[in-house]
Amino acid sequence: MLTGALVLGMVYSTSCNKNDDPGLPPIGGYNNSNEVAASNSVAHWTFDGTNNETMANLAPTTAVGASFTTGVKGQGLQLTNGYILYPALTALANANALNSASLSGWVKVSNNGVGPTSFLALTQSTTAQSDWNTGPLMMMAENGKPTSVDDTLVLKGVFSTWVAGARLGGDNINDFGVRETDFKTVKTGGNWVHVVVRYDASGSFIDIFANGVRVSNNNFRHRTRNSGGADVDMGPIVTVPPVQAVIGAFPNAASGFTNSATQTWQHPMTGSLDELRVYSKALTDDEIKALYDLEKAGR
C-alpha cells in the first residue's frame, strides 16, 4: 500500500526547549510560532504545566485521563482514554467569528484498530449540540480504518455551518481514490506529526496538512450546497454561539453533551497532543509551513 508513497518527514520524538531568542535567524519570516497569523489567533493550548486555554486563561470544566508529558515544544498533553472539556470561548461569541478558520496542533497517536480519534473539536454548547458533527470545526483521525496500517494515519477534517437554521457541512480526508495522486499518505503513526485543518470560505475549500504538506483528497476540497436546485459554494462558516471546545473526545453524552448520543465507534483518546491552536482565518500554505518549522525548532 505504501509503495511509492510520499513519506512525510518524521519529527523529533523528544521535545525541544522553548527558544524564542530574537537573536536567532527568522524562520519563514517569523521569530517564533506565536507571531504566525497573530491577529487571527483566537485560542491556544500550550500544555506547559496547565490545561488552561492560555489566551483567555480559560480553565476546563472536566478533565479525564489527562496528564503532562514531553511535548514538541516544552510539555505536552498525555491522554489515556481521556478528554478535556472547556466552557464557552469568549473570542468566538459572534456567529461570524469563524467565517474562515484553521485548527493546528501536534498529535502522536497510533492506528488503534478500534475506531476514530478526535483531537480537537469546536462545538455548540453542551446542551445544544445534537450530534458529533454539528460543528463548527473538528480535527481527527480515522485511525481504526482497515486502510491505515502500522505507521500510517488517515487524517480527517470536518466543518459545519448554519444556513437559515439548518446545519450544512462537509469534510475531507487523506484517503479514497488513487494514493499519492488524489491524496498523500501520512506515514508518521506513533510519532509526532503536525496537523492543520483549514477551511477557506473564499473558495469553500477544506484541506488537511501534515508536517507542512497538503495531504487531503483533491476530489473533496471544494464543498457546495444546493440552493434553488443549483449547487452553490458552501460559503462562510456561521456558528451557533456559544462555541465550546473538547480535546480528545467526540462531543457526545459521554463527554458531557447531553443531546448528542454516544455512538459505538466513538472512544476517548489515548495519545499525546501539543500546541493546539485556533485561527479565525484560512492559514496560507506559507504560514502553515512556518508554523510547522518554528514549533519543530522549539520556537
Residue 154 is given by DSSP the state: -
3-state secondary structure (DSSP) of residue 94:
coil
Chain segment 10-41, per-residue pLDDT in tens? 443 334 444 455 578 999 999 999 999 999 99
φ and ψ at residue 39, rounded to 5 degrees: -70, -15
Domains in the chain: boundaries: 33-296
Amino acid sitting at position 145: K
DSSP assignment of 52-87: SBTTTTBPPSEEEEEEEEE-SBSEEEEEEEEEEEE-
The pLDDT of residue 4 is: 38
Instruction: Give the predicted TM-score (pTM) of the model.
Output: 0.92
Residue type, 250: F
The pLDDT tens digits along the chain (299 residues) read 333 344 454 443 334 444 455 578 999 999 999 999 999 999 999 999 999 999 999 999 999 999 999 999 999 999 999 999 999 999 999 999 999 999 999 999 987 777 899 999 999 999 999 999 999 999 999 987 655 556 889 999 999 999 888 999 999 999 999 999 999 999 888 899 999 999 999 999 999 999 999 999 999 999 998 887 888 899 999 999 999 999 999 999 999 999 999 999 999 999 999 999 999 999 999 999 999 999 999 99
State residue 159's pLDDT score: 97
Q: How far is CA 189 from the centre of its chain?
A: 16
Residue 155 · residue 141 · CB < 8 Å:
yes
pLDDT recorded at residue 148: 55
Q: pLDDT value at position 14?
A: 39
CATH number attached to the domain at 33-296: 2.60.120.200
Distance CA 32, CA 19 (A): 8
Nearest to 253 by CA among 130, 89, 84, 79: 130
Sign, CA dihedral 240-245-249-252, equals: negative
Q: For residue 136, say if its preceding peptide bond is cis, omega within 30 degrees of 0.
A: yes
Which pLDDT score is estimated for 7?
43
Question: Does residue 82 contact residue 248 with C-beta atoms inside 8 Å?
Answer: yes
Place of cell 492506528: 111
Distance CA 201, CA 226 (A): 16
Neighbouring residues of 197: CB distance < 8 A, sequence distance ≥ 6: 102, 103, 137, 138, 139, 157, 206, 207, 208
